[in-house]
Structure 1
Amino acid sequence: MQRFKYSLDKSSKKYVCPNCNKKTFVYYVDTETGNYLTDNYGRCDREHNCGYHKAPPKGKKAYLIPFLSLSDISNKACKLIDLNGVISIIPKSQILERRAKSCYITEWYLKTSTINYLSNEIKYFNTGNVSIINEAKTIRQPEPVKPSFHSLELLNEMYFENSISDNLTEFLKAVFSPDEVANATLNYCLTGTNYCWNNATVFWQIDDKEKIRGAKIMLYDEHTGKRIKEPYNHINWLHKAIKEPEFNLNQCLFGLHLMNEDYQKDIAIVESEKTAIIMSIILPDFIWLATGSKSNFKLDLLKPLKNRNCFAFPDKGEFEKWNETAKELNKDGYKIAVSNLIEQTDFNNGFDLADYYLL
């Protein structure tokens, strides 16, 4: 009977699918250790709408062959007498595991032999390490999930027709002049909303083709300008707030639409959307973009910047990771310099460029 080293998790746990971003993903589990496999090995439960399925690597396929005897006849070959008395000369390289009265022989060799094997137990061997897995078959390659977009009408409605004040803008008005704040909020299409929380801020992710990829909702303290993190982190997405369950979020850098307005300006990249807005007021000679999270400083989001001079300003504690990413991208023609300005300060981890200028 065939044994399985890897199987899909049989618990009710679900994770975010790497393909459609829905919480419908089931990981493969190593049945010997109980640990999840890495590298997105698993299957999305949205079989028709997504269909993502990545099975663990199989390696060399081999069948268990019982024998009467197995003896060496040279440094490179063995003589095998199977249960039917049939004698076979087998290269040692094709015998992947020996037992007392049986051995595993590669399918490649068995196909050219007279040994009966098709109903026997199967193993897969990977680079010298045994992997016994189920032959999970993907019926079809999943089609790329098309990103969803918010309409310009929705943005116009929230910005002009049903304008709501937000706490972050009120904080900015206490720090900068009214004209500076008005210009910055217009450039970044900053809007307020009462979705999720009263006077929250909407950060619209508009790409370089003027498509609205998403809209992140966050709540700030009007007096300090800090995010509200207690009793929980106040972050949500507009497509969830307006109940669009089939919205396929495919993020871009916050402020990306601005890169087309001036091809002479260098690009500056920070993590926080708030910091990008503040720095656009303090240092307007750059076009300021934000990743939205420390993990979003990656190829998928940075692709549109390949031909531009870029300067990245990671939060305290993230310099090494961002710098390594930039080094890899620069090998492929990107021009990204990562500043260690904040890393050299006495700030706690998480402090950023806006803190440096405003404190």
Structure 2
Amino acid sequence: MERFKYSLDKSSKKYVCPDCNKKTFVYYVDTETGNYLADNYGRCDRENNCGYHKAPSKGKKAYLIPFLSLVSISVKAFKLTDLNGVISVIPKSQILEQNTKNCFITEWYLKTSTINYFSNEIKYFNIDNVSLINEAKTILKCEPKKPSFHKLELLNDMFFGNPVSDNLTEFLKTIFTKDEVANAVLNYYLSGANFFWNNATVFWQIDNKEQLRGAKIMLYNSATGSRVKKPYSHINWLHKAIKEPDFILNQCLFGLHLINEDYQKDIAIVESEKTAIVMSIILPDFIWLATGSKCNFKFDLLKPLKNRNCFAFPDKGEYDNWNNKAIELNKLGFKIAVSNIIEQTDFEAGFDLADYYLIMTNTLN
């Protein structure tokens, strides 16, 4: 949960966007006073065709970190023991708020640490003063930062040179043949690593130009194949593990590199990387890709698929959101059909296509 001093105007008022000259521009407002911010803070509603967006300065960003203990060891440092028993020495200047069981630590420090904070609560401190206006003015376009890429040698070393066993692959071996698993692992360059947690799984995001956009690290239970979510969600990124604090993550669909291998196959899109791998074994007539998040079913990530026939399989509870987005994208030339097969089941929210097929297979057996 993020707590903001500023938010986009929720009224129906729209102004002329300086980038596309359409009356689709929404200003940021001070949530305490209701006044508009300075003229270079706002967003164009034409997300797919314009995309201009500049948010106001929010001050120091910090994440809520739970701990077992936090002990002062000098006038300048604390010793923090996290829920996994991992000890970190943290400058006192980087802990912005402290409670009995948790504290807010600056994003700047966390980027260089091994502390997991990816899905934790966010709060902003020392908010900067931002000028206010009462009328629209010219807005300068903000230049986006260039994305970073991992070196191919890093993948080669982790996948071919010094492979590590991972729990998800071990689980897959219990339900599929050795050859089926080996083929899926090779197709997606599924890797193991002992970063953050032992026998974690690395999901490489390789785009359709063979560039390594990033690598998500997640921990699974080798007996059930389920993701470990307690006492917190075990998700992190490789660039944090190898201490690259300046890495600019610009995600792509998981498995996107596979679309160049067969132009005749239709594309199937799911949310979970694990589901894409499982379904690639069960239904190999499709090229299976994953968004990695329900929010990543969007234009920026789906753009490389514009000329391909696509079938999307949202998790239970997400059908309406994905279907509405597909309707918008199809107006722009996409060819995406959204399946409601999971929505028609009686399973709980979050249930996905791999769960469905694995249960059906066990039932038939």
TM-score tier by shorter-chain length is 0.5 to 0.7
3-state SS of the aligned residue for 2:173?
A: helix
Does structure 2 conserve the Cα–Cα contact (< 8 Å) formed by 1:207 and 1:257?
yes
After superposition, what is the alpha-carbon deviation per residue over 1:177-214, rounded to whole angstroms, capped at 9, x for unaligned?
00000000000000000001000000000000000000
Within 5 Å, which residues of 2 pair with 1:258-277? 258-277=258-277
Query: What is the CA–CA distance in structure 2 between the aligned matches of 1:213 and 1:41, rounded to whole Å?
Result: 24
Of residues 39, 47, 55, the one that matches 1:41 is: 55
Identify the residue that residue 226 of structure 1 maps to in structure 2: 226
Q: 1:265 to 1:56 in 2, by over 3 A?
A: farther
Identify the residue that residue 249 of structure 2 maps to in structure 1: 249
Q: 1:34 to 1:167 in 2, by over 3 A?
A: farther
Once superposed, what is the RMSD of the aligned Cα atoms? 2.8
Identify the residue that residue 334 of structure 1 maps to in structure 2: 334
Identify the residue that residue 110 of structure 1 maps to in structure 2: none
Larger radius of gyration: 1
Within 5 Å, which residues of 2 pair with 1:191-340? 191-340=191-340
How far did 1:343 drift? Answer: 0.1
Does structure 2 conserve the Cα–Cα contact (< 8 Å) formed by 1:28 and 1:42?
no
After superposition, what is the alpha-carbon deviation per residue over 1:53-111, rounded to whole angstroms, capped at 9, x for unaligned?
9x8995xxxxxxxxxxxxxxxxxxxxxxxxxxxxxxxxxxxxxxxxxxxxxxxxxxxxx
Task: Give, as a single letter, the amino acid of the residue that structure 2 aligns with 1:262.
Answer: D
**How many residue pairs were aligned?**
254
Query: What is the CA–CA distance in structure 2 between the aligned matches of 1:353 and 1:325, rounded to whole Å?
Result: 19
Query: What is the CA–CA distance in structure 1 between the aligned matches of 2:182 and 2:151, rounded to whole Å?
Result: 23
Does structure 2 conserve the Cα–Cα contact (< 8 Å) formed by 1:28 and 1:41?
no
- Structure 1 stretches (4+) deviating beyond 6 angstroms? 34-38
Does structure 1 conserve the Cα–Cα contact (< 8 Å) formed by 2:319 and 2:338?
yes
Identify the residue that residue 153 of structure 1 maps to in structure 2: 153
3-state SS of the aligned residue for 1:165?
A: coil
How far did 1:234 drift? Answer: 0.0
How far did 1:298 drift? Answer: 0.2
Within 5 Å, which residues of 2 pair with 1:11-160? 29-32=30-33, 41-43=55-57, 124=134, 141-160=141-160
Does structure 2 conserve the Cα–Cα contact (< 8 Å) formed by 1:220 and 1:228?
yes
Task: Give, as a single letter, the amino acid of the residue that structure 1 aligns with 2:169.
Answer: T
How far did 1:144 drift? Answer: 2.1
Query: What is the CA–CA distance in structure 1 between the aligned matches of 2:131 and 2:312, rounded to whole Å?
Result: 36
How far did 1:358 drift? Answer: 0.5
Task: Give, as a single letter, the amino acid of the residue that structure 2 aligns with 1:251.
Answer: Q
Does structure 2 conserve the Cα–Cα contact (< 8 Å) formed by 1:189 and 1:204?
yes
TM-score by length of 1: 0.66
Query: What is the CA–CA distance in structure 1 between the aligned matches of 2:283 and 2:31, rounded to whole Å?
Result: 52
How far did 1:276 drift? Answer: 0.1
Does structure 1 conserve the Cα–Cα contact (< 8 Å) formed by 2:5 and 2:31?
no
Q: 1:302 to 1:357 in 2, by over 3 A?
A: same
How far did 1:162 drift? Answer: 1.0
Identity of aligned residues (%): 68
Task: Give, as a single letter, the amino acid of the residue that structure 2 aligns with 1:255.
Answer: G
Task: Give, as a single letter, the amino acid of the residue that structure 2 aligns with 1:352.
Answer: D
Query: What is the CA–CA distance in structure 1 between the aligned matches of 2:345 and 2:283, rounded to whole Å?
Result: 20
Identify the residue that residue 181 of structure 1 maps to in structure 2: 181
How far did 1:34 drift? Answer: 10
Query: What is the CA–CA distance in structure 2 between the aligned matches of 1:164 and 1:44, rounded to whole Å?
Result: 41
Within 5 Å, which residues of 2 pair with 1:163-178? 163-178=163-178
TM-score by length of 2: 0.65
How far did 1:160 drift? Answer: 1.1
Does structure 2 conserve the Cα–Cα contact (< 8 Å) formed by 1:217 and 1:237?
yes
Does structure 2 conserve the Cα–Cα contact (< 8 Å) formed by 1:164 and 1:192?
yes
3-state SS of the aligned residue for 2:343?
A: helix
Q: 1:28 to 1:243 in 2, by over 3 A?
A: farther
In structure 2, runs of 5+ residues without a counterpart are 7-27, 44-53, 61-127, 360-365
Does structure 2 conserve the Cα–Cα contact (< 8 Å) formed by 1:202 and 1:215?
yes
After superposition, what is the alpha-carbon deviation per residue over 1:194-237, rounded to whole angstroms, capped at 9, x for unaligned?
00100000000000000000000000000000000000000000
Q: 1:38 to 1:313 in 2, by over 3 A?
A: farther
